[in-house]
Structure 1
Amino acid sequence: MSLEKITWKWIIPGCCKTRNQVLEPKKEVSKQISFQRLSISDVSDPSSPLFADDLSNSLIGSKLHVFSLAELKDITNNFSWSNLLGEGGFGPVYKGFVDEKLRPGLVAQPVAVKLLDLDGLQGHREWLAEIIFLGQLRHPNLVKLIGYCCEDEHRLLVYDYMARGSLENHLFRRFTAAMPWSTRMKIAFGAAKGLAFLHEADKPVIFRDFKSSNILLDTDYTPKLSDFGLAKDGPEGEETHITTTHIFGTQGYAAPEYIMTGHLTTKSDVYGYGVVLLELLTGKRSIDRNRPSRKQSLVEWARPLLKDPKKLDRFMDPRLEGQFSTKGAQRAALLAYKCLSNHPKCRPTMGDVVTILEPLLDLNDWFFEPFVYVAPTDESVTMECLVNEKGDSNEGDGCRGGWRRRINSTMSSVTHSDTSLYRIGNSKIV
Structure 2
Amino acid sequence: MDASPRSFSNNLCFLLLCVLISNLLTLSLFSSDSPFRQNTSRSFTESLLRAEEEIDRLRDELRATRSASGLLLQQLSQLASSLPNGTADSPDSASDAEADLLLPKEYLEFVSPKKLPLGRNSNFGSDHINPPAGRACDQFPEDLARYMNYTVGGPCPDDELLAQRLLLRGCEPLPRRRCRSPPALPARFVEPAPFPASLWSIPDDSSVVWTAYACKNYSCLVDRKNQKGFDDCKDCFDLGGRESRRWVGPVADLDYSIDDVLAYKKGTVRIGLDIGGGTGTFAVRMRERNVTIVTTSMNFNGPFNNFIASRGVVPLYLSISQRLPFFDGTLDIVHSMHVLSNWIPTRLLEFALFDIYRVLRPGGVFWLDHFFCLEDQMHDVYVPMIDAVGFKRVKWTVGRKLDRGPQMRETYISALLEKPMTAGKQRQRRRGFT
> TM-score band (shorter)?
under 0.3
Q: TM-score, normalised by structure 2?
A: 0.24
Which is greater in Rg?
A: 2
Q: Which structure is richer in relative contact order (CA contacts within 8 A, separation 6 or more)?
A: 1
